[in-house]
Structure 1
Amino acid sequence: MEDTKSKLQEGSAVESLTTTTYCVTGATGYIGSWLVKSLLQRGYRVHATVRNQAKTLHLLPLWGGGDRLRVFRADLHKEGSFNEAVQGCSGVFHVAASMEFEVPAKEDIDSYVRANVIEPAINGTLNLLKSCLKTPSVRRVVFTSSISTMTAKDSAGKWRSVVDESCQNPIDRVWKTKTGAWVYVLSKLLTEEAAFQFANENSIDLVSVITTTVAGPFLTSTVPTSVQVLLSPITGDSKFSRILSAVNSRMGSIALVHIEDICSAHIFLMEHDGAEGRYICSAHSSVISQLVDHLAKEHPFSNMQRLVEEEHGSVPSEISSKKLRDLGFNFKFGLEDIIHHTVSSCVDCGFLCPTVN
C-alpha cells in the first residue's frame, strides 16, 4: 500500500500516514507526551496510556492526530490493565516510571524502599510485558532507562576514559553508599534488570534507551524534573542541585540530550532491525563549569550557583553514544540548542524571569 504524504505545518517534516500502531505508556510525562506527538507527526496510530485521563485535557489539542490517537486508562500496578491498550500494536514504548528521588526517614529504610518503590516498579513493568506476551502483534518493546544506571568510575573508583553501555552502576554499591537520588537509581537499575530477564525468558524483543539529562521544550503543564535539575544553577533549588551534583560525581560530567532527539532515538530503535540490548543516548556532555558558563550566557543571573567539580587529574570521561551512532542515528541538537530551547520554554511558561538586556 502506498503511503499518503502531506506536509506538516511545522518545519519541513513530512507526515507519512500508515496503519502501524504504537503504544506509549506514561503519555502524560515529559518524554511520553513528546513521543506521542512525534509519532503522530510521523503519521502513526498511537495508543497512549495514562493513569489519570484528566491530565490529558491540555495535551489533546497539542497532540492532534484526530482518530489516529486513542487514550487508554491503565495502571502498572494492576495485572492485565494494559491488555486492551497493546492490542493491535506493532510495538510498545515503555516510558512510564516513578520519579521518586526521596523517601521519608525510616528506621529500616532498605526494607521500606524495597516494598514501596522497587517492588511496585518491577511488578508494573512485568505486568506490561505480560500484556505484550499475550499480544501476537507486538514485535518489540522499547524500554526507557536512565543514565542513573551508569557510572564513569571503575570498581577501584578510578575514572574510565569512556563510558559505554557496559559501565553499569553496581547495585550493591548503590545500596551501600546511598548517594544523591539513590532510590531512583535503584528503581531504574532493578526494573531494567528484571525487564531484560523476563524478556529473555519469554522471547520478547526488548531494547533499552539509556536517557541522559533530557531538556528542551515541553508539553507538560508543569516543568519536568530533568529540566529543573539542569536549571538548578540558575534557580538555586537545593533539591535539584543535589541531584545535578550527584550525577556529576558519578559521571564526571553532565550528559545532555534534546527532547526531540531522545524521542527520535526511541522511534529509530523501535524500527531498526539490527537494534538489540542497551543504547546510551547523549548528544553532548559538559563538565559542570562549562555547563554553568553556558547557562549564565543564555540567562544571566546574579545568584548563579557554582557547583564544585571533582578533580579528575585527566580529561573527563567520554559518555559515548557510539553504539547508537554506529547503527545510523544522528543527533539534531547540540549543547547550545538544548540550553537555549530549555531556557526559552521556561521563560515563556513563567518558570524563569525574562532577562533584561
Structure 2
Amino acid sequence: MERGEEEGRGGRRYCVTGATGYIGSWLVESLLERGFFVHATVRDPAKSMHLVSLWTGSERLRLFRADLEDEGSFDEALQGCDGVFHVAASMQFHVPPHHHHNIEAYVEANILDPAIKGIINVLKSCLKSKSVKRVVFTSSISTITAKDSNGTYKPIVDESCQIQADQVWNTKATGWVYALSKLLAEEAAFKFAQENGIDLVSVITTTVAGPFFTASVPSSIKVLLSPITGESEFFKILSAVNSRMGSLGVVHIEDICSAHIFLMEHARAEGRYICCSESCSLSKLYNLLFQKHPCSNTQRIADKSDNKVDPEISSKKLKDLGFSYKYGLEDIIHQAILCCQDYGYLSPVSQ
C-alpha cells in the first residue's frame, strides 16, 4: 500500500454511490471494517434501513439522498471526501416489448443518456468538492470481448480488448443494452476526467458472486447459478457472456471490494483494471455447480471444449500492481450456493 497506513486510515472519508446494490452495499461494509468514514448515497434512504442495521461501524457512516439524474444532488455527499467509488448503475438488460418498434430511440433516451449524465453529474460534484483526489468507477466485463476482428478468440483477454459501440448496436446480443450503457458511460467518464484534471480509475468486474447483504438475490449470482436454477432469462445472459468471451470470469464479492479500495489507495493506479480471480469454461462451471448442488431437474452439458484452450481473462495488470485474490472459483460457488439456500432461493441439498 503506497499511502502508508500510518496516516491513520480512520481519518479518510470516502463516498460510495449506489450503496444499496450488491457491490455498493458490500463496499460500504468493507470500508467501515477498515476504519474509514463513509458517505453512502442512496435514492431512497427509507429503503436502506435494513442495510444500516447490518453494516458494522455505522457511527462512521452517513447516508445521503442523491439521484444520478439530478445535477448537483451529489454535492453535499462529496463534501470533505478524499475519494469517490462510483458504483451506481442501471441493471437494465432488456428493452420492454412495447418499445421494440423504435428500439434505438428508446435506448438512447431511457438508458444511455441517463447513464452518461449520471457519471458526469458525479464528476461535476467532485470538481466542486475540492477535496476528492480520485474516483474509482465500477465498469463491467460486458465492455470487453475475447474475439478479434475475424471473430476468433484470443488466448489472453486484457484491458485492451474493448468492444466497439457500433458492433454492440449492430449485433444486439443478449444483455447489449447493459453493455452499451457501461461502455459509453465509462468512455464519457474518462473523457470528462481528462479534460478536467480528475484522477479516474476503472474496475472491470467479471461475474461477482459469494454472500450478499441485499434484500434480494443479486442478478450476477442469478446469472452464475442459472444452470442449476433453470432461470432462462439469466441463462441467456450467461450464454451470451460465454460466447463473447469464450470462457467465464468470476470474482468473489470480498475480492472485488478489496480491489476497489486497493485501486483507490495505490498511488500508481491508472486507467482500467480487469478484476477476475479465475476464468473457466461453461462445462467446468456446470460440473462445479452440480458437485456443490446436485439436482435432478437440470440437463448436464457435454464438454465440447476438449480440443481448445479457453481464453484466459487476465488480471495481470492488477496483480502486477501488487493485488492478490483471497478466493478461487470453488469458494465463490460454494458460498453463493450456501447464501442462496439460507435466503430460500435454492432448496437445501439433502445429503
TM-score range, shorter chain: over 0.9
1:56 aligns to 2:48 (yes or no): yes
Give deviations 1:225-271, integer Å, cap 9, x for gaps. 00000010011000000000000000011100000000000000000
Identity of aligned pairs, percent?
A: 64
Counterpart-to-counterpart distance in 1, 2:33 and 2:208: 20
Which residue does the alignment assign to 1:184?
178
Contact 1:245 1:307 in 2 (8 A): no
Residue 207 in structure 1 maps to residue 201 in structure 2: yes
Is the alpha carbon distance of 1:247 and 1:154 closer, same or farther for their aligned partners in structure 2, counting shifts above 3 Å? same
Q: Find out whether 1:98 has 2:90 as its counterpart.
A: yes
* 1:7 aligned residue: none
Deviation of 1:172 (Å): 0.9
Q: What whole-Å deviation, never above 9, does each CA across 1:280-317 have from its counterpart, x for those lacking one?
A: 00000110000010000000011224468776953111
Structure 1 unaligned spans of 5+: 5-15
Is 1:256 aligned to 2:250, yes or no?
Answer: yes
Query: CA 1:325/1:3 → structure 2, altered by over 3 Å: closer, same or farther?
Result: closer
> How far apart, in 2, do the equivalents of 1:224 and 1:166 lie?
28
Equivalence for 1:325: 319
Distance 2:83 2:344 in 1: 37
1:296 has 2:286 as partner: no
Of 185, 190, 196, the residue aligned with 1:196 is 190
Aligned to 1:239: 233
Q: After superposition, where does 1:16-27 map in structure 2 within 5 Å? A: 18-27=10-19
1:133 partner letter: L
Distance in 2, Cα, partners of 1:102 & 1:232: 17
Superposed, which structure 2 residues align to 1:39-118 within 5 Å?
39-105=31-97, 106-118=100-112
Q: Distance in 1 between matches of 2:84 and 2:235?
A: 33
Where 1:59 maps in the other structure, the secondary structure is helix
CA distance in 2, matches of 1:307, 1:228: 19
Cα distance in 2 for residues equivalent to 1:190 and 1:115: 13
Task: Return the letter of the residue paired with 2:135.
Answer: V
Bigger fraction of residues in helix: 2
Q: 1:337 aligns with which of 305, 327, 331?
A: 331
- Which residue of structure 2 aligns with residue 314 of structure 1? 308
Partner SS for 2:11: coil
Secondary structure of 1:108's counterpart equals helix
Amino acid corresponding to residue 158 of structure 1 in structure 2: T
- Per the TM alignment, residue 67 of structure 1 is displaced from its structure 2 partner at its CA by 2.4
Partners of 1:113 and 1:292 lie apart in 2 by 33
Cα distance in 2 for partners of 1:80, 1:300 equals 51
For 2:303 and 2:92, locate their aligned partners in 1 and report how far apart those are by CA, in whole Å: 25
Deviation at 1:327, TM superposition (A): 0.1
CA RMSD of the aligned region, Å?
A: 1.6
For residue 64 of structure 1, report the CA deviation from its aligned partner. 2.5
> Does structure 1 residue 216 correspond to structure 2 residue 191?
no
Cα distance between partner residues in 2 of 1:52 and 1:72: 9
Residue equivalent to 1:126: 120
Cα distance in 2 for residues equivalent to 1:170 and 1:310? 29
Distance (Å, rounded) in 1 between the aligned partners of 2:305 and 2:74: 47
* Partners of 2:52 and 2:58 within 8 A in 1: no
- Structure 2 runs not aligned, ≥5 long: none
The CA distance in 2 between the partners of 1:163 and 1:315, in whole Å, is: 13
Contact 1:233 1:307 in 2 (8 A): no
Pair 125,20 (structure 1): closer, same or farther in 2 beyond 3 Å: same
Which of 9, 16, 30 lines up with 2:22 in the alignment? Answer: 30
Q: Secondary structure at the match of 2:50?
A: coil
- Which residue is equivalent to 1:228? 222
1:270 aligns with 2:264: yes
Q: Distance in 1 between matches of 2:174 and 2:305?
A: 19
Work out the CA distance in 2 between the residues paired with 1:169 and 1:355.
40
- Cα distance in 1 for residues equivalent to 2:236 and 2:303: 13
Normalising by structure 1, what TM-score? 0.94
How many residue pairs get matched?
345
The offset of 1:152, in angstroms, is 0.4
CA distance in 2, matches of 1:307, 1:172: 33
**In structure 2, distance between residues paired with 1:317 and 1:66:** 42
Structure 1 pair 309/192, CA: closer, same or farther in 2 (3 Å)?
farther
How far apart, CA to CA, are the structure 1 residues paired with 2:305 and 2:287?
18
Q: Alpha-carbon deviation of 1:136?
A: 1.2
The whole-number CA distance in structure 1 between the counterparts of 2:196 and 2:164 is: 26
In structure 2, distance between residues paired with 1:141 and 1:62: 26
- Misfit runs of 4+, over 2 Å: 304-314
Distance 2:217 2:27 in 1: 17
